[in-house]
Amino acid sequence: MGDRILIVGTYDTKDDELTYLAQVIRAQGGQALTMDVSVLGDPQAPTDWSKHDVAAAGGGSIAEAIAAESENTAMQLMARGAAALCARLHREGRFDGVIVLGGSMGTDLALDLCAALPLGVPKYIVSTVSFSPMIPPERLAADVQMILWAGGLYGLNSVCKASLSQAAGAVLGAARAAEPPRRDRPLIGMTSFGKTVLRYMVRLKPALESRGYEVAVFHATGMGGRAFESLADQGAFAAVMDFAPQEVSNHLFGSAISAGPDRMTAAGRRGIPQMVAPGCYDLLDVVGWHEPPAAFRGQPSHAHNRLISSYLLDGPQRRQVARAICDKLALAEAPVTLFLPVQGCNEWDRPGGPLSDPAALAEFCEELRLRCPANVRLVELDAHINDDAFADAVLAAFDAWVAGGIVPPGRA
């Protein structure tokens, strides 16, 4: 717990607003530290870390940023510097939470800065473009918070003070209450959806916990997959059970519900052992009020709620997904076991179910067998992914990994 809040912004254009944030934090008993990421102008009073400190941390200088004669180039230099400097300051224990203020330029920088900080550090972005579709999910830190800066494009007023004061209170409260992730037990990262469609986690989570592991289950609806990949890239997991890689299908076919092009790559790149299964691979999730891609119009679908609808992939589309999954797993630097439940991979595709298509399922299985890379152990199961037999097979394979030293033993 702590109360030292780092405030970051362009003090040459938003000095009043940034100073107001500091005043609110101090009035609530917190400590306000300041970092200037301006290029052209200067703050009214010196900041704790100047724009020159930021530029130097990015491997450049303010003179270089100005000489570029491009706002975009200059702010990318400052973004690199701010991310590097903030990461170092956090490692040194210099602050407990960070809040970044900006419009589109400041938000671009803020996304890099927050992504450089580990999970558990309170990180708030107050932006005029919060929640905008221009912000791709792959640039969001796993636990970043965004607050819309209403009425704050230029100068202080009572409307924007309402947003700024709440943001100041939020980051200070978060810093005081934050409970960073414990590292007392090895962490298993798992992907899934709700129990209406995938259920293996109901068996697996308590079974793994009884073996001395902590289990974090990520909702694979774009942002959840992005958080999963982010933590894998930080080396947070002892092993992953990536049993809902549907975001690969979403990205492949152009859905907005995407975790980005790098989904299903971080664990392999970091040498983390992977257990994989194609849960919900056969569904394309789209935003409920969006039109589906043209290739899916007229195909069977399921309206999950007003936010999300699922469209069924046909046989050739499923073959594309199989190839994409195999291509990603081929790059893994650690053991990979790929489970293939040949009776189906989501609750709706059971025989006689509303989205059952045995012929398309057979095409997927055939393509997976043909394309499975040499570094991947393929385990076919005469079961459905929601059957107990699937969870039993996973636990047996996991126990073998532990016995073989591939995964560290759990701790009581």
3-state secondary structure labels for all residues of 280-343: CCCEEEEECCCCCCHHHCCCCEEECCCCEEEEECCHHHHHHHHHHHHHHHCCCCCCEEEEEECC
- How far apart CA 357 and CA 352 sit, in angstroms, is 9
- How far apart CA 159 and CA 40 sit, in angstroms, is 28
Q: Would you say residue 77 has pLDDT above 80? A: yes
Q: Would you say residue 14 has pLDDT above 80? A: yes
Candidates 348, 412, 335, 346; CA nearest to 379 is: 335
| Mean local confidence (pLDDT), 144-160 | 88
Tokens representing 265? 């790559």
CATH of 187-403, one of 3.90.1640.10, 3.20.20.210, 3.30.70.270, 3.40.50.12030: 3.40.50.12030
Which tens digits make up the pLDDT trace of 80-112?
A: 999 999 999 999 999 999 999 999 999 999 999
Q: Report residue 1's pLDDT band, with 50, 70 and 90 as the boundaries.
A: low
Q: Would you say residue 138 has pLDDT above 80? A: no
CB 265 within 8 A of CB 239: no
Which tens digits make up the pLDDT trace of 251-261?
A: 999 998 888 89
To the nearest 10°, report the CA torsion of 231, 237, 241, 243: 0
Tokens 């039993």 locate to: 392
To the nearest 10°, report the CA torsion of 227, 229, 234, 237: 90
- Mention every residue, 6+ apart, whose C-beta is less than 8 A from residue 406: 239, 273, 334, 335
Tokens representing 235? 């080396």
Domain with CATH 3.40.50.12030 in the chain: 187-403
Q: Report residue 140's pLDDT band, with 50, 70 and 90 as the boundaries.
A: confident
Q: What is the pTM of this model?
A: 0.85
- How far apart CA 35 and CA 315 sit, in angstroms, is 54
Terminal C-alpha separation, the chain? 26
| Mean local confidence (pLDDT), 38-67 | 95
| Mean local confidence (pLDDT), 224-251 | 94
Domain with CATH 3.40.50.12020 in the chain: 4-177
Beta bridge partners of 308: 287
Tokens representing 28? 């609530």
Tokens 């109901």 locate to: 202
Query: For the ranges 15-24, 289-298, 342-351, 354-363, which has the lowest average pLDDT?
Result: 289-298
Candidates 231, 52, 262; CA nearest to 143 is: 231
CATH 3.40.50.12020 for the 4-177 domain, yes or no: yes
Q: Distance of alpha carbon 247 from its chain centroid, rounded? A: 12
At 272 the pLDDT is 98
Tokens representing 131? 């929640």
Which tens digits make up the pLDDT trace of 157-196?
A: 999 899 999 999 999 999 999 887 778 899 999 999 999 9
- How far apart CA 194 and CA 211 sit, in angstroms, is 24
